[in-house]
Amino acid sequence: MGKITGFLEYLRELPLDRNALERLRDWSEFHLHMEEAKLRQQGGRCMDCGIPFCQTGIVLNGLTSGCPVHNLIPEWNDLVYRGLWKEALDRLHKTNNFPDFTGRVCPAPCEGSCVLGINNPPVTIKNIEYAIAEKGWDEGWIVPEPPQRRTGKKVAVVGSGPAGLCAAQQLNRAGHLATVFERADRPGGLLMYGIPNPKLDKEKALMRRIRQMEGEGIRIVCNTEVGKNYPADKLLHDFDAAILATGATQPRDLPIEGRNLKGIHFAMDFLTANMRALLDRHKNGGYISAEGKDVAVIGGGDTGTDCVGTALRQGCRSLVQVEILPRPPLYRAEDNPWPEWPKVYRLDYAQEEAAAKFGDDPRVYLTTAKKFIGDAHGRVKEVLLVQIQWERDAKGRFVPKEVPGTEKVVPAQLVLLALGFLGPEQPLLEALGLGRDARTNVKAEFEKYTTNIPGVFACGDCRRGQSLVVWAFNEGRGAARECDRHLMGATNLP
């Protein structure tokens, strides 16, 4: 602990983001850097709390509390305060393969469980993590780290999202030959096509890590879908082990009247098409455009937020985001105590941009879509919304009930369904004969990751269901550890 009284002397400060209206004119990242002197002060706010709840990574009341990869947060906060940036980066990389990703897109459950946050604004952990990673790239400290020796064992990783990338890098550093199969035309999975460029720049943040991994000897094969244009049985025959990290990409639908109308799309189809067009410099067309349209986003999570930000940049005419849950309070409720994740009202980047452009937060709470209304050409033109209230049913479960007399029609020539995901796509799992749980996820015990097929492991969203990027990191690293143990009889991987 470098500054004993730092948490008393310094106020929480965050770097400014780019102006909301200005950044709507491009697809560049909205993050700005903070000067080093202030970053060191922010590191000095970390207190000698005895038990660093920030790095626990547990689930309390259904939500994540603390860092799932168990980042050694107080240690690198202290090193930043003392100006020891290289040492801070080394300490950060001990637990997190890609802190430049989490420093951008993680919701920071570490800050929600910061001890200082009991009665003061918590330490700016996420921003310091981001700054450490960027310092590492700026100074040339982050370079390929190929293993000193090879084991001769070959491992296939199916999926190049956050779990797959972590698993591959860890296996490679253990000396195994890792091959990553990705069905898309570019690596990264959710990181490439599911997260818009303003949050995570593909060239600056993602592809430099891909190049680092390739420099370490990892083979990444795109345009290859295992179980389709690469036989599933070949996977078991050609490799000594395999890790499935295919994600949970089966979207939840909204089967209400009018669902078959044109202009209604799943959120991920919208985001993926836009990101691919952006990366292709619009040479191939084919993306879903919100330009000049009234847009309705159904769903209030991160994916819905990204749809809002993307539609705004495309030049939508108006926008509403429909959220079935109540608006969170400004401060923790009594039934949401520290160190649980604070369920409080937040204005994310896209809602901030919508407010700057249209004058208000676009979200409407305790509301659901009841019907899609079409025009004479079979295209959606309006959405019938209705307010709801949550009541207990005969089994004591909370269910939404319509509030009579609250129906409202809003214009919408583009509707985006951001209702989450039901689980992984099933064809590959069926082809391999993998066991599945009641939610259709691959059946594999947490922290063991073994499936019913010897030598085949599963991790990330295809095992646990839709979750945070940082949980994918946790599981990718864990699956690599257990795979290494399976191959070698013991493991030194963390």
Enter the tokens of residue 367.
Answer: 């509301």
- Cα(39)–Cα(37) distance, integer angstroms: 5
pLDDT score of 1:
67
Mean pLDDT over each residue of the chain, to the nearest integer: 96
Strands (E), 395-491: 398-402, 408-411, 414-417, 421-423, 456-458
Strands (E), 235-303: 241-244, 250-251, 264-266, 294-298
Backbone angles phi, psi at 317, to 5 degrees: -85, -40
Per DSSP, the chain holds a count of helices (H) and strands (E) of 17, 18
Give the model confidence (pLDDT) of 202-233 as tens digits: 999 999 999 999 999 999 999 999 999 999 99
Enter the tokens of residue 119.
Answer: 């009665």
Q: Are 484 and 493 in contact (CB under 8 A)?
A: yes
pLDDT score of 3:
87
Give the pLDDT band (50/70/90) at residue 20. very high
Report the candidate in 109, 114, 108 with the shortest Cα–Cα distance to residue 126: 108
Give the model confidence (pLDDT) of 163-198 as tens digits: 999 999 999 999 999 999 999 999 999 999 999 999
Backbone angles phi, psi at 166, to 5 degrees: -65, -45
Strands (E), 177-304: 177-181, 219-221, 241-244, 250-251, 264-266, 294-298
Q: What angle do CA 468, 472, 473 make, to 5 degrees?
A: 115
Give the model confidence (pLDDT) of 457-470 as tens digits: 999 999 999 999 99
**Which amino acid would we find at residue 373?**
I
**Percentage of residues of the chain with pLDDT beyond 70:** 100
Report the candidate in 248, 346, 258, 246 with the shortest Cα–Cα distance to residue 298: 258
- Domains for the chain: give ranges and CATH numbers: 6-138 (1.10.1060.10), 154-249+422-488 (3.50.50.60), 253-419 (3.50.50.60)
